[in-house]
């Protein structure tokens, strides 16, 4: 009698299922593994058998995950955004804030040869002066488009629709590299139809461009770690530098992120490739798994110094012209903006309330001060307000935290807008929080993403918060929510909370799950 040794659950799954025979058996079994079916054996197939058509469709999507992530979903996202912006009037829409007016004003001044000038909150309303109050990237972005098409707002919306489609592909890439194919696909599918992303595509605001750049920065950093080539660090630095010109918060993050990527790249065994599309399923180290033959990692050597140098120098390339311009105009090499002083002064002023609804507060006497000098004065006074009454400051920060994550706008929003917010962000919020906890316990590969999210939450909580500012972290929150959904789904399909056991093992409360 011939005897053979097999793994019971896998063998049972193969022998009892008629679907694993034929030419498509290998890819179907691979798709089953990604869906968590092989671990559940016969009972898992029985549970999913009643949804045969659905599971086959999902398996087909996973089989062509690269095509879906980088072609189908981005194209669909672009088309949907183009259809949305086609319904908007061809004029600058001002809803909750007047920033679009100022961005267009500065862009027109740039094209007319007047330089980077426009309204500044350090000067009386209606002023038009040389300024560094506003993040510079977006007005120059508008000016670049206007130089080709003329002052056409529909042209801006078309370009932003394309950027939004590319961002969907980047979300899929980051989610797949850090989590799994399912994480990337689910997150990018949500991003394809996410209402807030549609709304900001039609606005002359920084959000759509910045989201694309910060996603590119994170994605390039992930690749730089495992490719370990200077070219990837050049691309990482340039993307991070451009993102820093889009939002000042990216400046400190990019500096730290380049250092993290450089040190991690020399402590990881070099990738011969990134292990297929499903990097999270023990095919690459991007999820913190021992998938590199469990070899001991070498100690960090001096090899990280050139990589950091290359990354930081590349980051300086897009920032340097702006800093030089500010040195010429204000005799100070301002790297990003001067808005911090204004925000600290206004939002901790004694007349301000915790809900940030006071529109105007009295300013100090400036005399002939330049804009940076006014910013320094207001920043010092604002910090004094914060230290003067620590309990009030703490109360304001708690209020700002809830304003950042509020479900619906507190200003003049329509019922439809509020309902859309509840049915999209409101449903995903618990999964976003759960995904953050799971990712924190999962491994170091998630730490930069979580660090960026935490840093942005802290900065908004300390200064000024709102739904629009949450868009800076929204794509990463979608990835975390997708990660939570995938992990919860795996636990339910397998009939055991393996991810819980794994988390407990990481913090020392249990032995590793077998």
In terms of Cβ atoms closer than 10 Å to its own Cβ (0-12, 13-18, 19+), residue 271 is middle
What is the tens place of the pLDDT at every residue in 447-506?
A: 999 999 999 999 999 999 988 899 999 999 999 999 999 999 888 877 655 445 555 555
Give the integer Cα–Cα distance in Å for 473 and 444.
19
CA contacts within 13 A on the Cβ side of 275: 24
Quick check: 312 pLDDT over 90?
yes
Residue 43 confidence (pLDDT): 53
Non-local (6+) Cβ contacts of 229 within 8 A are none
Residue 409 confidence (pLDDT): 67
Residue 155 confidence (pLDDT): 97
Report the SS3 class of residue 158: helix
Quick check: 346 pLDDT over 80?
yes
Which sequence spans correspond to the domains of the chain?
25-63, 339-388, 392-514
The encoded tokens of residue 421 equal: 């917010």
Looking at per-residue pLDDT, the higher value among 352 and 274 belongs to: 352
How many angstroms separate the Cα of 106 from the Cα of each of 101, 102, 118? Answer: 9, 6, 5
Give the integer Cα–Cα distance in Å for 404 and 465.
5
The answer to whether the beta carbons of residues 262 and 299 sit under 8 Å apart is no
Angle at 237 between CA 231 and CA 243, to 5 degrees: 140
The answer to whether the beta carbons of residues 245 and 318 sit under 8 Å apart is yes
What is the tens place of the pLDDT at every residue in 279-291?
A: 344 343 333 333 3
For CA atoms 252, 253, 257, 260, the dihedral sign is positive
Confidence of residue 193 (pLDDT cuts 50, 70, 90): very high
Residue 9 confidence (pLDDT): 43
Q: Give percent of the chain with pLDDT exceeding 90.
A: 61
Residue 417 confidence (pLDDT): 66
Residue 26 confidence (pLDDT): 52
Give the integer Cα–Cα distance in Å for 456 and 458.
5
Confidence of residue 277 (pLDDT cuts 50, 70, 90): very low
Q: pLDDT averaged over the chain?
A: 82
Give the integer Cα–Cα distance in Å for 180 and 490.
12
Among 105, 145, 135, 102, which Cα is nearest to 206's?
Answer: 135
On whether the pTM is more than 0.85, the answer is: no
Residue 272 confidence (pLDDT): 44
Quick check: 11 pLDDT over 90?
no
DSSP one-letter code for 129 = E
The encoded tokens of residue 392 equal: 């009030």
Give the integer Cα–Cα distance in Å for 501 and 512.
7
Looking at per-residue pLDDT, the higher value among 22 and 314 belongs to: 314
β-pair type (117-118, 129-130): antiparallel
Stretch among 42-46, 198-202, 235-239, 277-281 having the lowest mean pLDDT: 277-281
The answer to whether the beta carbons of residues 207 and 466 sit under 8 Å apart is no
Angle at 270 between CA 265 and CA 272, to 5 degrees: 135
């Amino acid at each position: 009698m011939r005897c053979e040794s097999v793994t019971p659950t896998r063998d049972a799954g193969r022998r009892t299922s008629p679907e694993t025979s034929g030419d498509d058996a290998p890819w179907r079994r691979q798709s089953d593994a990604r869906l968590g079916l092989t671990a559940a054996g016969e009972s898992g197939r029985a549970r999913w058998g009643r949804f045969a058509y659905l599971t086959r469709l999902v398996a087909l999507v996973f089989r062509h995950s690269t095509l879906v992530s980088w072609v189908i979903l981005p194209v669909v996202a672009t088309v949907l955004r183009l259809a949305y912006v086609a319904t908007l009037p061809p004029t600058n829409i001002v809803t909750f804030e007047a920033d679009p007016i100022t961005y267009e004003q500065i862009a027109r001044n740039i094209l007319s040869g007047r330089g980077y000038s426009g309204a500044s909150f350090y000067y009386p309303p209606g002023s038009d002066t040389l300024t560094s109050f506003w993040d510079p990237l977006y007005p120059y972005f508008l000016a670049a488009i206007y130089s080709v098409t003329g002052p056409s707002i529909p042209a801006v919306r078309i370009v932003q629709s394309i950027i939004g489609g590319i961002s969907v592909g980047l979300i899929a890439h980051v989610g797949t590299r850090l989590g799994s194919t399912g994480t990337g696909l689910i997150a990018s599918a949500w991003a394809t139809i996410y209402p807030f992303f549609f709304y900001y595509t039609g606005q002359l605001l920084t959000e759509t461009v910045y989201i694309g750049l910060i996603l590119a920065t994170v994605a390039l950093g992930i690749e730089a770690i495992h490719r370990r080539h200077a070219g990837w660090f050049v691309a990482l630095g340039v993307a991070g530098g451009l993102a820093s010109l889009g939002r000042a918060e990216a400046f400190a993050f990019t500096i730290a992120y380049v250092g993290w990527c450089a040190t991690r790249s020399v402590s990881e065994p070099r990738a011969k490739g990134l292990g297929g599309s499903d990097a999270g399923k023990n095919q690459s180290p991007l999820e913190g798994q021992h998938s590199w033959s469990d070899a001991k990692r070498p100690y960090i050597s001096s090899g990280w110094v050139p990589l950091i140098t290359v990354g930081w120098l590349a980051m300086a390339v897009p920032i340097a012209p702006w800093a030089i311009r500010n040195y010429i105009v204000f005799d100070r090499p301002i790297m990003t903006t001067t808005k911090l002083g204004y925000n600290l002064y206004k939002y901790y002023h004694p007349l301000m309330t915790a809900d940030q609804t006071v529109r105007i507060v009295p300013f100090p006497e400036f005399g002939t001060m330049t804009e940076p000098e006014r910013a320094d004065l207001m920043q010092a006074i604002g910090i004094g307000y914060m230290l003067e009454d620590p309990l009030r400051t703490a109360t304001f920060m708690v209020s700002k935290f809830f304003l950042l994550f509020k479900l619906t706008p507190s200003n003049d929003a329509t019922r439809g807008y509020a309902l859309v917010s509840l049915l999209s962000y409101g449903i995903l919020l618990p999964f976003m929080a759960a995904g953050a906890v799971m990712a924190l316990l999962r491994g170091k590969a998630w730490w930069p993403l979580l660090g960026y999210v935490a840093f942005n939450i802290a900065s908004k909580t300390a200064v000024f918060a709102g739904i629009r500012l949450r868009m800076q972290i929204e794509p990463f929150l979608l990835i975390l929510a997708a990660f939570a959904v995938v992990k919860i789904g795996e636990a339910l399909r397998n009939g055991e909370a393996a991810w819980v056991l794994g988390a407990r093992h990481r913090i020392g409360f249990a032995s590793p799950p077998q």
